[in-house]
Structure 1
Amino acid sequence: MDILADWEKIRIHFSKSFRRNLHVAIASVDAENNPTTTPVGSLFLNADQTGFYFEKFVTKLPVNATTNNKICVLGVNSNRWLWIRSLYEGRFRQYPALKLYGELGALKKASDAQIRALARRVRRTKDLKGHKYLWDDMIYVREVTFTKAEKINLGKMTRGL
């Protein structure tokens, strides 16, 4: 998969994945080379193979970035009908899962545009009590630069994608 040529397809996949799962999994490696994954519900992909996420609850990613800033992001589209239809047809018509490889960048104060993007994503929960606890004070983002994309191989089911 070519990260430049297929970037718009990648962005669409991650958007669909987020709608179903409400998060992606970001893998990193600590100073002792132990792998760990972190669920992140605020990853946004920009138009230029970069992205950002709000760094409020993540604890391992910023610590791991001090010794190794490389990450892998897994986005799985868990749409039940996608999987049932694909199992019935014997093949997927669209990617069931993708991995993005990249590097964590600087932590910085979120821009107004980034805060608006988060507000759009969580707007349906704005009247719920937990909304305030989770999203009212999201003010810092971590930038990410992506360098490689990889389709998940499920044999004959994903051949031709």
Structure 2
Amino acid sequence: MSIASVDKENNPTTTPIGSLFLNKDQTGFYFEKFPSKLPANERFNKNICVLAVNSNTWFWLSSLFKGKFKADPAIKLYGQLGARRTATPIEKNLLTRRMKLTSGLKGNKHLWDNMEEVREIYFTKAEGINLGKMTESLHI
């Protein structure tokens, strides 16, 4: 996933985030260990846009074969950055479960060890992307 934000000079920038979690109440959070631009931009403009792309190979191959998508291939989630805070034990457990498949690899330790801080996100709207004829039946 990527999160787009705007800096104090109104320049857009995107930040890749591998640890975004969505809640059922139009909120979410991500672990904020490496991002530097998002926290800096949050001081001037809290508005963000998350681009979430369905990366399932079968979804794309079957859609390309049929000439249309049965669901949105990507969604833009608009919202605002919230507070940075210490992760709860439940949030840390969610991250551990998500990264379990790669837990024995050296890179896993470099990337996801000692994840202690999360940034809250509050979402205000969601929007499917338009890919012409491939998505026209989804946005009627």
Please indicate the TM-score interval, normalised by the length of the shorter structure: over 0.9
Q: Any idea what SS the aligned residue of 1:102 has?
A: strand
The answer to whether residue 36 in structure 2 is matched with residue 39 in structure 1 is: no
Q: Residue 78 of structure 1 corresponds to which residue in structure 2?
A: 55
Is 2:105 the counterpart of 1:131? no
Identity of aligned residues (%): 62
Which of 20, 28, 33 does residue 56 from structure 1 map onto? Answer: 33
2-structure distance, mates of 1:108, 1:132: 22
In structure 2, give the amino acid aligned to 1:38: T
Q: What is the rounded CA distance, in whole Å, between the counterparts of 2:120 and 2:47 in structure 1? A: 12
Specify the SS of the correspondent of 1:74: strand
The within-5 A match list for 1:1-161 is: 24-161=1-138
Inter-partner Cα distance in structure 2 for 1:53 and 1:117:
11
Q: How many residues align?
A: 138
2:31 and 2:68 mapped to 1: Cα distance?
36
Aligned residue for 1:94, secondary structure, equals: coil
Structure 1 gaps of 5+ residues are 1-23
Q: Which residue of 2 aligns with 1:12?
A: none
Partners of 2:32 and 2:58 lie apart in 1 by 32
Letter aligned with residue 117 of structure 2: Y
TM-score for both structures, normalised by structure 1: 0.83
Q: TM-score, normalised by structure 2?
A: 0.95
Output the CA distance in 1 between the equivalents of 2:85 and 2:76: 25
- Measured after TM superposition, the shift of residue 80 of structure 1 is 2.6
Q: Which has the higher helix share?
A: 1
* In 2, Cα distance between equivalents of 1:54 and 1:86: 33
Q: Deviations along 1:12-71, whole A, 9 cap, x unmatched?
A: xxxxxxxxxxxx010000000000000000000011000000000101000000000100
Structure 1's consecutive aligned runs of 4 or more residues displaced over 2 angstroms after TM superposition are 78-81
Shift of 1:160: 2.4
Give the RMSD, CA atoms, in angstroms.
Answer: 0.9
